[in-house]
């Protein structure tokens, strides 16, 4: 069976990812700080007939990241899918926030995504298959004033965009998941249906479909998708122009006639 490593898997969207991947027949490595929560997620996953390994680790610390990196880089137990879902949201305005809390947010939302992806990609590329899902946020596009959380999610979007551009032809895919508000229990959601509030299971389903289609950005929900689509339009045009310019340069170089200029004679000292 293939194996997926899911961070932030003790609850919320991470637990939903774990359940869906287990139903798809993937073995799991579940990572989070909350061991009790991980055990609950693992027990639910095992009911689908897969194995679920629990790795209690705080990804805001070097030791916690090292434990997850070592598991990802183990050549004898390959991981075919990495879901970088763990995230910390500091809602304080920057000038009022505790500096230690801000650094912990950066280490979880940015440093862990970078280091775990760096540990996973070499093996995936060598095997010619694999995928990385980086959970970003709609806040990365339209942040609240003074939001440092939004800044970290904007980094996840940019990181995925640049890394995915280097992967064509390797058999490895990478996608940024950009959801809005979700009914995970983390925030108080209205009882009535609303386009602002998304069902986590539907979010995961859409992400996996888009990953399978080779897309590098997934924005579930028609309302969020329409806004992000408008914001992304200029960047898509620039990417297309850059690809065309690159092909033009390559064609020009291939069609150019060989130089007929003779090299200058080498002068030697008398």
| C-alpha to C-alpha distances, 144 to 1, 83, 116, nearest whole angstrom | 42, 26, 28
Nearest in space to 154 (alpha carbons), one of 207, 228, 243, 230: 228
**Overall size of the chain counted in residues:** 270
Distances, alpha carbon 54 to alpha carbons 23, 40, 45, 130, 209, in Å: 18, 10, 11, 21, 27
Q: What sections of 5-145 are H helices per DSSP? A: 12-23, 35-46, 62-73, 99-106, 112-127
Contact assessment for residue 33 and residue 10, using Cβ atoms and an 8 Å cutoff: yes
- The CA-atom distances, in angstroms, between 90 and each of 16, 98, 116, 183 are 23, 9, 22, 19
Nearest one of 79, 84, 85, 74 to 27, comparing CA atoms: 79
Structure tokens at 22: 């287990």
Query: What is the per-residue DSSP string for 116-144?
Result: HHHHHHHHHHHHT-EEEEEE--GGGTSPP
Name the catalytic one among 76, 141, 149, 224: 149
Residue 224 a catalytic site member: no
**H or E segment to which residue 229 belongs:** helix 222-255
Residues labelled catalytic: 149
């Amino acid at each position: 069976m293939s194996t997926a490593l899911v961070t932030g898997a003790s609850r919320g969207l991470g637990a939903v990812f774990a359940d869906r991947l287990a139903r798809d027949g993937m073995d799991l490595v579940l990572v989070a700080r909350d061991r009790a929560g991980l055990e609950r997620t693992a027990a639910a996953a095992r009911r689908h007939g897969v194995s679920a390994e629990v790795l209690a680790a705080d990804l805001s610390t070097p030791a916690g990241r090292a434990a997850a990196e070592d598991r990802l880089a183990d050549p004898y137990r390959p991981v075919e899918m990495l879901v970088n879902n763990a995230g910390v949201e500091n809602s304080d305005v920057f000038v009022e926030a505790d500096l230690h809390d801000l650094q912990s947010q950066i280490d979880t939302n940015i440093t862990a995504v970078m280091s775990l992806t760096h540990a996973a990609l070499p093996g995936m590329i060598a095997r010619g298959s694999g995928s990385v899902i980086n959970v970003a946020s709609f806040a990365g596009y339209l942040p609240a004033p003074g939001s440092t959380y939004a800044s970290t999610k904007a980094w996840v979007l940019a990181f995925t965009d640049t890394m995915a551009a280097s992967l064509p032809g390797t058999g490895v895919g990478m996608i940024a998941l950009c959801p809005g508000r979700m009914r995970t229990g983390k925030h108080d959601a209205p009882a009535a249906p609303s386009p602002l509030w998304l069902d986590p299971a539907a979010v995961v389903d859409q992400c996996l479909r888009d990953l399978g289609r080779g897309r590098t950005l997934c924005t579930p929900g028609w309302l969020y998708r329409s806004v992000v689509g408008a914001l992304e339009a200029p960047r898509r045009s620039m990417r297309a122009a850059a690809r065309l310019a690159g092909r033009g340069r390559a064609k020009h170089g291939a069609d150019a006639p060989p130089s007929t200029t003779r090299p200058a004679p080498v002068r030697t000292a008398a």
